[in-house]
Chain A
Amino acid sequence: MSLGDLQQLAMLAVIRLRGDAYGAAIRDELARVAGGSVSVQTVWVTLVRLEEQGLAASHEESAPGGGRPHRIFRITPHGRVTLAEARASMARMWEGVVQP
């Protein structure tokens, strides 16, 4: 399965955030680390597609301090394997490439 750029970035953001990967946090992580601004809806559509493909899963969790519950995302084992394959494919493609 091939992963789009945004899908990979979103999956990496989820992994980086560990157990705190909810919608707004994922978006903030993407903006902070990857740079660039991604809309709320785009992040959520990406997350929905990842779930549909079985690459991610989510559950509802109460926010600390009694706030509204969040939907916390995690990467499934299948998702991790796919992400690793995508990374390996990218590395193979980069081999021997000399950027001017």
Chain B
Amino acid sequence: MNRRGDGPPGIARRALRWLLPGPAGREIVDDLNREYSRLRERYPRRVAGGWYLLQLLRPDTWRLAWALRRHGKVGGPDRRARIGTWGGSLSLDLKLAWRMLLKSPVLTVVGVLGIALGTAVGVGFSVFLTGMFFPTLPLEEGDRLVALTIWDAEAGRPTPPGLDEFATWREEMRSVRQLAAAAMEDRALVTGEAAPASVRAAAITASGFEVARARPLHGRYLVLEDELEGAPRVAVVGFDLWQTRFGGDPGVLGRSILLDGEEHTVVGVMPAGFAFPHKQEVWTPLRVNRARHGPGHESGLFVFGRLASGATRQQAQAEVTALGLRAAVDVPDRNAQLRPQVVPYTHPLENVDGMKLWQAAQLQLMVTLLLIAIAANISVLVYARTAMRQNEIAVRTALGASRRRIVSQLFVEALLLSIAGAGLGLGLAHVALAQVQAIFDRGEGVAFWLDYGLQPRSVAFALVLAVLAAVVVGVLPGLKSTGRRLTAGLRGGGASAGLGRGWTALIVAQVAIAVTVLPTAAYLGYQEIRMGAVRATFPADEFLTTQLGMALPVRPEMDGQAYRRETAARFAVRIPELERRLEADPAVVGVTFEGRLPGRGSAIEIDGRAEPRQVGSLSALSMGVATDYFDVLGARTLAGRVFRTSDVGVGGGTLIVNDAFARRVFGGGDPLGRWVRFLSGPQAGQDTDEAEGGPWLEIVGVVEDLYASAFDRERAPPTMYYAIEPAELPAANLLVRLRGDAVAFAPQLHQTIVGLDPELKTGPVENLASMPHARYLAMAVSALQLVLATVLLLCAAGIHALMSVTVTRRRKEVGVRAALGARPAHLLASIFSRVAWQLCLGGLLGSVLGGALLILHGLRRDEAAVFVGGVLVLMLTAGLLAAVGPARRGLRIQPLDALREE
């Protein structure tokens, strides 16, 4: 018989217990303990204890340990039967989980929606983040591609390399091979019978195709000889363009096309998916000409190449830094502040810099915070429901179910919920990404490495999120509910979830998390939207727009100039006739045109004096407009005048700028009388007699901003307007202002155009208000509202659930107080007071943390207070409203019924 406290050595006992797991292991250790007791009857403690310790070293003990771990338990059914048993219990868990989810439809719907939202946001954002910052280029050894840029240390911004830098790097670098350069811009394409269209073109060195290592589908790509001055103008077209403009005709090789009025011969067609270097549709040779584009010229090249075999980006950086230092010594005035950089290929194309990485980190933080808030809310909901199942859990425990068994069943319930939510979330993400892709496809185009479709890794990511959510939502509440308090509750005559400080902490945490997270999430979402959101300040819904151009058949004897003359002449006749016919219609208010002349891009120089001097290179939007443009749009003239007929053409030499241009460029000073000229690209500006830019243009008027950010006046794009004759444009945008329903007029507009002249080609007729940027804004705002509303709903649902449990647990107390004569108002105050101070405490904590988070993001205290205050009011309102239902149930408690309950 064991003397009291005379058991085997505790450390050895615990070690054996760990070594020999499971019920069989427990029985074996019990047998060893019994044997120890027998020994202890005959031998001193140290002998028996020594024997016991030696059991740890016996080979048989380790054989048993291995057997127990290998088989899961000693004996029992064979492995197939064990798997069958496991499968049987899983099947049972699934059935039970399904019944429980049906039994709590509100929780199920709220939980599925919450997890779906979190999954959609998480998956959708991961697709963007991966595509932008960590893309996999779908090219052979795509990870070896790099780009070369220049950082202007004085200006604090990147500046694109010039032809001089490119030529130097190409000659001297060893760590980057096949260096190539491209100048990318939109050009007007005219082909045969089809309407003129704007295409994304690149003037690229022949080495660019070698870098991409792509073979043409038909014909050839550009070669070195194409780059030589005087070589015939050739072009390579992309697959999609070949399909839409040439009907997929293999006979396209040798056909002529016009790009900005210049004739090119098609020599090749690239395969589907090739849009190198960014999202291009047409490629022409880049003619490197040092004499024409010497040092200091702003030519806006994208320079890229492949790392040499065995070379690293760091080695390339060291090499290009050394070249930069030498250039700084050779030409210190220009190069002293320039720092050449070797960066990942996609970064210059997507304007990825420190600021954008910071933005991405912000978005990641917003998404993470939202997911945490969602998971916490659903976890509280499930915990509240689990708390109501304490009796069921207690009975199951008494019948022999282990804690692991109960928690695993709760995990299966949560997993079913989260997989349903993940599936719905993937569907939402797929639809949203498809919408985004469609918007970008119709607008700026999508980079060739981006695929907004759901990839297998997206599905795997969603499954990981689902499992994590199931752990948070199912396992944690399950562990809490099956802890030691359960046993204590059983002994006390009733299972209890254990209300008390833990419960209070849960409610406070629930509110605090929401108030901390939501203001920051709302602010970050608002920032993202306002940066991209641009809306028209004029009634865009009253306008129809379409692209218009003459597409005369190209005769063999025609050269480019002859074609342009004949086209312009025919267009000049048709335009006034078209205007007359349209304006005769009573539904039409006005007709006007806009377009862009070749060589007039966004890079400009400014001076206000008669003698030109270099002030600095800037960029702004530029647009050619008809003389009646501002009148038709109803734009106010803020200073100076609008265009006259005499302003049209080369001899005109005038500009009108918008208010944003005047504010940003001249700091609010008077822009009238100042002079501006466009800096031309390497293949533009042919008609000027100036070496480095276009003619100087005088600013004669200032108009209000026609497009502005929906949220921030300072974000209106600075824009310059020059007067054009629509007929001189390769492709002009026709704008028609209408009375009444503009969209209904679209078929009639199309008919009027084609009825005038069969050679007059038109693109799709669209309502100006439905253009891509407006759709993006609408979608982004809706998405943000949906996310915030769902998180608020989840918070309210969580508080409602917690309040319900609180009221239920206090039935007896409320019944006793009612029996003792407490007035309903006092009872209500008693129920509400607790939830009110819990809400206030959580709100206070959340306000402090949320405010600090916003101030860290650069907001002023008063701005942070607005965001936090708004969310706090919403949360408190939602919480109090959520408490109304349970409180009313509490008032309806019958004292006798409550007193009878055990």
Contact = CB atoms under 8 A, between A and B. Distances in A.
Interface residues of B, number: 21
Contacts of B63: 41, 45
For A27, A45, A54, which residue has the most chain B Cβ atoms within 10 angstroms?
Answer: A45
Contacts of A44: 28, 31, 60, 64, 74
A68 B32 CA distance: 15
A39 interface: yes
Contacts of B491: none
B55 A41 contact: yes
B27 A47 contact: no
B27 A58 contact: no
Given A23-B27, A45-B64, A58 B76 contact: yes
Contacts of B24: 71
Contacts of B76: 51, 57-59
Contacts of A59: 75-76
Contact of A27 (B23, B26, B31, B75): B31
For B34, B61, B64, B75, which residue has the most chain A Cβ atoms within 10 angstroms?
Answer: B75
Contact of A23 (B31, B60, B61, B78): B31
A91 B133 CA distance: 82
Contact of A69 (B23, B34, B78): B23
A61 B78 CA distance: 18
B27 A22 contact: yes
Contacts of A45: 60, 63-64, 67
A72 B316 CA distance: 74
Contacts of A48: 64, 67, 74-75
Contacts of B64: 41, 44-45, 48
Interface string A45-89: 101100100101111100000001111010000000000000000
A40 interface: yes
B646 to A, nearest CB: 104
B28 A60 contact: no
B30 interface: yes
B631 interface: no
A5 to B, nearest CB: 16
Interface in A1-55: 22-24, 27, 39-42, 44-45, 47-48, 51, 54
A61 B24 CA distance: 12
B810 to A, nearest CB: 37
For B58, B61, B74, which residue has the most chain A Cβ atoms within 10 angstroms?
Answer: B74
A22 to B, nearest CB: 7
Contacts of B34: 24
B35 interface: yes
Interface string B21-63: 0011011101110110000000000000000000100101101
Contact of A41 (B26, B30, B60): B60
A55 B31 CA distance: 23
Given A39-B60, A42-B60, A44-B64, A70 B75 contact: no
A70 B74 CA distance: 12
Instruction: Determine the main DSSP class of B at the interface with A.
Output: helix
A95 B27 CA distance: 42
A15 to B, nearest CB: 17
Contacts of A56: 75
B76 to A, nearest CB: 6
A58 B63 CA distance: 19
Contacts of B55: 40-41
B390 to A, nearest CB: 24
Nearest to A56: B75
Interface in B9-24: 23-24
A45 B63 CA distance: 7
Contact of A68 (B26, B67, B74, B75): B26
B74 A40 contact: no
For A48, A56, A59, A69, which residue has the most chain B Cβ atoms within 10 angstroms?
Answer: A48
A81 to B, nearest CB: 18
Nearest to A41: B60
Given A45-B60, A45-B64, A60-B23, A71 B32 contact: no
A51 B64 CA distance: 13
Contacts of A68: 26-27, 30
Contacts of A51: 74-76
A47 B24 CA distance: 12
A24 B74 contact: no
A40 B67 contact: no
B74 A71 contact: yes
Contacts of A42: 60
A48 B30 CA distance: 17
Nearest to B61: A41
Contacts of A58: 74-76
Nearest to A24: B31
A40 B32 contact: yes
Given A45-B63, A48-B67, A68-B26, A40 B75 contact: no
Nearest to A42: B60
A89 to B, nearest CB: 26
Contact of A40 (B23, B26, B31): B31
B69 to A, nearest CB: 12
B23 A23 contact: no
A71 B60 CA distance: 19
A4 B135 CA distance: 65
A66 to B, nearest CB: 13
Contacts of A69: 23
A96 B30 CA distance: 46
A22 B31 CA distance: 10
A59 B75 CA distance: 8
B32 to A, nearest CB: 5
Contacts of B58: 39, 41
B23 A71 contact: yes
Nearest to A59: B76
A85 to B, nearest CB: 22
B9 to A, nearest CB: 16
Nearest to A48: B67
A71 B22 CA distance: 12
B68 to A, nearest CB: 9
A73 B75 contact: yes
A59 B58 CA distance: 26
A14 B234 CA distance: 95
A71 B75 contact: yes
Contacts of B31: 23-24, 27, 40, 44
A24 B31 CA distance: 6
Nearest to B55: A41
Contacts of A54: 78
A91 to B, nearest CB: 30
Nearest to A43: B31
B401 to A, nearest CB: 14
A23 B24 CA distance: 10
B27 A41 contact: no
Interface string B824-844: 000000000000000000000
Nearest to B65: A41
A47 B78 CA distance: 14
Nearest to B74: A48
Contacts of A40: 28, 31-32, 35, 55
A30 B60 CA distance: 18
Nearest to B77: A57
A47 B74 contact: yes
Interface string B740-774: 00000000000000000000000000000000000
A56 B58 CA distance: 25
A54 to B, nearest CB: 8
10 contacts: A27-B31, A41-B60, A44-B28, A45-B60, A45-B63, A45-B64, A45-B67, A48-B64, A51-B74, A57-B75
A-B pairs, 9 with minimum CB distance: A41-B60, A58-B75, A51-B75, A40-B31, A24-B31, A48-B67, A41-B61, A45-B60, A23-B31
